[in-house]
Amino acid sequence: MRNSVSRSKGFTLVELMVVMAVLAILSAIAYPLYTEQTQKTRRTEGRAALLELAQAQERFFTVNGRYAVNLGSLSLSSIEEDSGTWYTENDYYTVTTAGAATFTATATAAGPQTSDTDCTSMSYTNLGVKSGTGSDPSKCW
């Protein structure tokens, strides 16, 4: 004969709470790591833009005997102008240059990259000197 006590199917509240607690712990660990890796990946866009800018400055110097003082004088594929401000392709950095006899190119975090406190800006000079600012500038290059 069959047992008259029927067992319901499904999850108990305790089981559901345990699963939710495990998910919360995993999320608390994974999200900061994801954010840090995303910022690190975006830094490559700033570095690539500075190196392209340095190459363009050297070409300009070869032809004109001086470095360009504004980015409009250079042919750049990964740097675009918007209302007088120059940005990298995905708008993660603003790019500036100062030059004539020498040049310094600087990429400053913009848009979603401003939350990157380790590397707020990075610079590259005509002498190949790389530098950065932020709480851990060594992460810039």
Q: Where are the domains of the chain?
A: 13-139
- What kind of fold does domain 13-139 have according to CATH? Glycoprotein, Type 4 Pilin (3.30.700)
**What is the pTM (predicted TM-score) of this model?**
0.77
Gap between the Cα atoms of 47 and 69, Å rounded? 20
Measured on CA atoms in the order 116, 118, 123, 128, is the torsion positive or negative? negative
pLDDT digits (tens, 9 = 90+) for 8-63: 788 888 989 999 999 999 888 888 889 889 999 999 999 999 999 999 999 999 99
Q: Give the residue-averaged pLDDT of 123-131.
A: 96
Question: For the purposes of burial, counting CB atoms within 10 Å of the CB of 139, is it exposed (0-12), middle (13-18) or buried (19 or more)?
Answer: middle
